[in-house]
Amino acid sequence: IDNLPVCMNCHSFSRDGKTLGLDVDGPQNDKGLYALVPIRRETVIHNRDVIAWSNFRGKLGGRIRVGFMSQVSPDGQTVITMVNGSEFQPEQPKKDAGITPELPPDVQGNFYVANFRDYRFLQVFYPTRGILAWYDRQSRQLRPLPGADDLNYVHTNATWSPDGKWIVFARARARDAYPPGAPPAERANDPNETQIRYDLYRIPFNNGRGGTPEPIRGASGNGMSNSFPKVSPDGKWIVYVQARNGLLMRPDSQLYIVPFEGGTPRRMNCNTPLMNSWHSFSPNGRWLVFSSKSRSPYTQMFLTHIDENGNDTPPILIENATAANRAVNIPEFVNIGVDEWLKIDAPATEFYRISDRALAFYRQGRFEDSIAEWKRALELDPNDAAAISNLGAALDGAGRPEEAARQFARALEIDPDNVRAHTNIGIALARSKRYEEAARHFERALELRPGDAQARSAYGGMLVETGDTEKALVHLRIALELTPESPDALNNYAGALARAGRYRESLAFFRKALEIEPNSAILHFNYGRALAADGDLKSGLAHVEKAAELGGEEPLILERLAELYESAGRAADALATARRALAAARRHAQPGASARIEALVQRLERR
């Protein structure tokens, strides 16, 4: 498996080795997809094998964002996972908090994530809120597991007993991922990390009816953080990770073994001096594979042998598993012969690759190219509501509002609570000056997802047009705080200032957006117009010319460039560019734009 356009990472197998469960990243690094795939000699991941957790609702009716550390049941028919249990949406952490400046919606509020300069332990992450839910392959439904769905706690790292009757998981008191005013952590195990210590519990699965969680004696209440349990195939032992704080990828993490019913834990002989984690039992229970950084900052695999009494040997390095400058994480045994699985093909990921291209074209202002790519994506998955909505947005950007409206209606028919569709409809209605209808869609989008920066930004832009600048800038400022490094948020905020006549103030935000995305036709276009409006026609022209170069013969950009040439007294350039704009509008079948630009051509020809 190679040359994938997206990340495939956390995975598990059914006990018979016939089913693979796999986290799959979607477009724009969406973490909300999961594949359940039959294993064959040449395994193929189709769209029909992929689950979108966002299609389900949480315990309190909110959209699920992501499934974390999902595990396939021994019989391959069920998946246990951690999901967000509520619509909790805390304030987005700021860039100077020492963390990733813009966390995706599936991470906000439920996970502590910190990135560091020390490449040996570059990142830590662990959940601070979440419940356990189980997905049934037959009914295709996701349900909370009673007894592991208390919103006062975070429940994570769930794994199955070999008979499928028990779930063993880590639990801690739920808390904010980023307490207000907390100083940034600078390294793993920094005291300024959000402090959380997990205890191990077990709960009967009981065909999804759950039960009462029981703390595992020896792996709970010990003043340490106990996580990542794995049950031996004979059901006798639990091997887990112990560290001072958090879970996984901890410098001080050590492997411990405890009886399944609880008892006296033992530190395992196989532990190396630095980080021991990501462990997995062999099908016969006599071997354990795990990852460590003891010999290299790039994680390596080790083996230990375990006897019937749970005694293990010193570690054995698995040499030459990969290149020396590549990390090996999440090793898993799979119960198949060495020649029974040779290859994975993933045509489902082609949909995500095309989607990313379509989104990139849209951000560059190349709407016709974006339309073509979204149509290609929808040939692969005709009922993807987000893709349909984004096709509508591209059509609207290309000046084809009636076609756009049909796509938006179709997206909402498939998914009435699709935030992107409500936002895109709002944008289209606002462009048609149907402000009251647009406001209803924006407000519905924000009701569904209060922390959605795009909906807030678009709503704010509409409010500027209606004259409610004060209210607009509140929404736009919130959107910018949510996504301070987002070119779209910066562009929308700057654009709102420009539309309010505050051109000089808008320029700094346009410049920052262009530093992040220097090849965006839309940003050069808007920045150039603002510069010209602020009196710097020469610089403004240069940026709009750059926009025309990047914009793929976009009629609107060429039309505005022709008008700026006219203002600069460059009549010949103005006429030639207006004719290019007219040809492009006719080629793209934009009757409204064609009529407007034809009038511009006629006026310039009369000069």
Distance CA 49, CA 165 (A): 26
Query: CATH assignment of 8-346, given 2.120.10.30, 1.10.10.10, 3.40.50.720, 2.60.40.790?
Result: 2.120.10.30
Give the number of C-alpha atoms closer than 13 A to the C-alpha of residue 315, restricted to the C-beta side: 24
At 54, the pLDDT band (50, 70, 90 cuts) reads low
CB 272 within 8 A of CB 258: no
CA distance readout (Å), 438 to 386, 463, 479, 541: 19, 10, 18, 33
Say whether pLDDT at 65 is over 50: yes
* Helix, coil or strand: residue 483: coil
**Token pair listed for 374:** 């979204």
Both structure tokens of 88: 């909790």
Mean pLDDT, the chain, whole residue set: 88
- CA 365, 367, 373, 378 torsion: positive or negative? positive
- The confidence score (pLDDT) of residue 6 equals 64
Q: Reply yes or no on whether the pLDDT at 58 is more than 50.
A: no
Residues 6+ apart with CB under 8 A from 191: none
Token representation of residue 129: 């809120």
Q: Report which residue type is found at 77.
A: Q
What confidence category does residue 344 fall into, taking pLDDT thresholds of 50, 70 and 90? confident
pLDDT at 127: 93
Whether the predicted pLDDT of 100 surpasses 80 = no
Q: Where are the domains of the chain?
A: 8-346
Task: State the angle between helix axes of 487-499 and 521-533 in degrees (0 to 180), rounded to the nearest 10.
Answer: 30
The beta strand positions in 187-234, using DSSP E, are 199-204, 214-215, 225-231
CA–CA dist 402, 425 (Å, integer): 11
The pLDDT tens digits of the residues spanning 310-328 come to 999 999 999 999 888 988 8
Candidate from 23-27, 35-39, 495-499 with smallest mean pLDDT: 23-27
Torsion of CA 514, 516, 521, 524, to 10 degrees: 0
Distance CA(12)–CA(80), nearest Å, equals: 11
Report the candidate in 123, 28, 114, 127 with the shortest Cα–Cα distance to residue 69: 127
CA distances from 272 to 58, 304, 373 (A): 40, 11, 50
What integer is the mean pLDDT of 564-586?
93
CA–CA distance, 60 with 51 (Å, rounded to integer) = 21
Query: Greater confidence, 90 or 252?
Result: 252
Beta strands 42-44; 343-345: pairing state = parallel
* Average pLDDT for 27-49: 79
At 3, give phi and psi (nearest 5°).
55, 35
Predicted pLDDT at 420: 84
Question: How far is 64 from 66, CA to CA, in rounded Å?
Answer: 6
Whether residue 433 is predicted with pLDDT greater than 50 in this model: the reply is yes
Which residue carries 């990340």 as its tokens?
Answer: 7
How would residue 369 be classed by pLDDT, with cut points 50, 70 and 90? very high
Question: What pLDDT score was predicted for residue 26?
Answer: 63
What pLDDT score was predicted for residue 87? 42
Average pLDDT over residues 499-520: 92
Nearest C-alpha neighbor of 260 from the set 201, 193, 210, 212: 201
Q: Find, among 6, 7, 27, the residue nearest to 385 by Cα.
A: 27
Residues 358-380, mean pLDDT to the nearest whole number: 90
Mean pLDDT of 330-357: 86
Q: What is the pLDDT of residues 449-499, one digit of tens each?
A: 887 888 998 999 899 889 888 888 889 989 888 888 888 889 988 988 898
Question: What is the total residue count of the chain?
Answer: 607
Residues 6 or more apart whose Cβ sits within 8 Å of residue 592: 399
- The answer to pTM > 0.85 is no
179: pLDDT strictly greater than 50: yes
Beta-carbon count within 10 A of 380 CB: 17
For 144-157, the pLDDT digits (tens) are 999 999 999 999 99
Sign of the alpha-carbon torsion through 53, 54, 57, 61: positive
Q: Cβ contacts of residue 595 below 8 Å, gap of 6+?
A: none
Calculate mean pLDDT across residues 380-409.
89
DSSP result, 420-439: HHHHHHHHHHHHTT-HHHHH
**DSSP codes joined into one string, 320-372:** TSS-TTS--------SS-TTS--EEE-THHHHHHHHHHHHHHHHTT-HHHHHH
Q: Which of 87-91, 463-467, 537-541 has the lowest mean pLDDT?
A: 87-91
% of the chain beyond a pLDDT of 70:
92
Place of tokens 């229970």: 285
Please give the pLDDT value at position 96: 38
Residue 106: what pLDDT? Answer: 44
Contact between 273 and 295 under an 8 Å Cβ cutoff? The reply is no
Measured in whole angstroms, the distance separating CA 356 from the mean position of its chain's CA atoms is 13
Q: Is there a contact between 526 and 494 (Cβ–Cβ < 8 Å)?
A: yes
Q: How many CB atoms lie within 10 A of CB 501?
A: 11
Band of pLDDT at residue 580, cut at 50, 70 and 90: very high
Distance CA 232, CA 217 (A): 17
What is the pLDDT averaged over residues 141-145?
A: 90
The tokens for 115 are: 């990135």
Q: Are 355 and 24 in contact (CB under 8 A)?
A: no
Which has more pLDDT, 420 or 297?
297
Examine the pLDDT at 102 and tell me if it is beyond 60. Answer: no
The percent of residues in the chain predicted with pLDDT above 90, rounded, is: 58
CA distance 555 to 561: 10
Q: Judge whether 216 and 168 are in contact, CB under 8 Å.
A: yes
Residue 377, token pair as written in the block:
């994506």
Take residue 485 and report the two structure tokens written for it: 């490094």
Mean pLDDT of 34-47: 87
List pLDDT tens digits, range 261-299: 999 999 999 999 999 999 999 999 999 999 999 999 999
- Residue 172 · residue 196 · CB < 8 Å: yes
- Is 52 a residue whose pLDDT tops 80? no
Residue 94 is predicted with a pLDDT of 40
Q: Which of 512, 405, 484, 421 is nearest to 458 (CA)?
A: 421
Provide the sign of the torsion angle of the four alpha carbons 362, 367, 372, 378, taken in this order. Answer: positive
Residues 229-233 have a mean pLDDT of: 97
pLDDT confidence tier of residue 428, bands split at 50, 70 and 90: confident
Strand partners, 24: 8, 33
Report the pLDDT value the prediction gives residue 440, as an integer from 0 to 100: 95
Q: Which residues of 417-451 are buried (b: 16+ CB within 10 A; e: fewer)?
A: bbbbbbbbbbbbbbbeeebeebbebbebbbebbeb
Q: Residue 157: what pLDDT?
A: 95
In the predicted structure, residue 91 carries a pLDDT above the cut 50: no
Amino acid at the residue 234: D
